[in-house]
């Protein structure tokens, strides 16, 4: 396994529709392993292949927010959605940015696992939110595309605060500009 570099908002890979996996091979198994390792190192709840600039329709999601057991989904699609929930979201491709997003309360996802077997995953609450968020990545959508604009804020470190951070309001346009600067800086350092 290897930790891959997560690409930031502004990278073209995040806006492309994922390619369906046609063949499950050693390369795909390595990608799934790397996604899981990267997500754990970065303390995420889910990670899509697009976030490491890979065009395949593959995601990993933690089975439990505090655990290390993964659900691997190849060519996933939501086949059922029910209810609504409003909650805060962030994204490893938009670090420290948070906002309120409306998602389904419950989803059912059909996919294939690394053995090629069809699987069905049902998620409610946080799991439904996470699945919907990651599957949005496969369609080239980011949470800032569906965020309630007035809720968008940065989480800034602040040792004076009990929680260790303070919130600073921002706009979608300012956030996109900030990530574009960060992305260009990272590319020039590579």
Q: In this predicted structure, what is the pLDDT of residue 67? A: 83
- Please state the domain count of the chain: 1
Name, in order, each residue with C-beta under 8 angstroms of 114's C-beta and a sequence gap of 6 or more: 24, 28, 29, 32, 72, 74
Low-confidence ranges of the chain (pLDDT < 70): 190
Structural domain includes residue 53: yes
Q: Distance between CA 168 and CA 86 in Å, rounded?
A: 20
Nearest to 70 by CA among 39, 41, 115: 39
The catalytically annotated residue of 72, 105, 134, 162 is: 134
Catalytic status, residue 134: yes
Q: Which CATH number belongs to the domain containing residue 72 in this structure?
A: 3.90.45.10
Taking the model in full, what pTM does it have? 0.93
Residue 39 has what pLDDT?
Answer: 95
Predicted pLDDT at 68: 85
Longest dimension (CA), the chain: 52
188 in a structural domain: no
Domain that holds residue 59: 12-94+101-140
Residue 118 lies in a domain: yes
Say if 181 falls within a structural domain: no
Distance CA 25, CA 168 (A): 45
């Amino acid at each position: 396994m290897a930790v891959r570099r997560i690409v930031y908002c502004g990278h073209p890979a995040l806006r492309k529709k994922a390619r369906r996996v046609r063949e499950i091979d050693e390369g795909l198994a390595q990608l799934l392993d790397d996604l899981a390792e990267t997500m754990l190192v970065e303390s995420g709840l889910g990670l899509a292949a697009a976030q490491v600039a890979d065009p395949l329709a593959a995601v990993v999601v933690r089975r439990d927010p505090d655990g290390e057991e993964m659900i691997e989904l190849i060519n996933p699609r939501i086949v059922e959605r029910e209810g609504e929930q409003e909650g805060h979201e962030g994204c490893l491709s938009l670090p420290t940015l948070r906002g309120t997003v409306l998602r389904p309360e419950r989803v059912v996802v059909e996919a294939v696992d690394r053995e090629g077997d069809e699987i069905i995953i049902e998620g409610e609450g946080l799991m439904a939110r996470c699945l919907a968020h990651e599957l949005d990545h496969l369609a080239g959508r980011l949470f800032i595309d569906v965020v309630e604009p007035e809720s968008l804020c940065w989480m800034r470190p602040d040792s004076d605060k009990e929680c260790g951070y303070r919130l600073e309001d921002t706009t979608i346009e300012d956030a996109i500009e900030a990530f574009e600067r960060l992305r260009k800086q990272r590319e020039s350092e590579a």
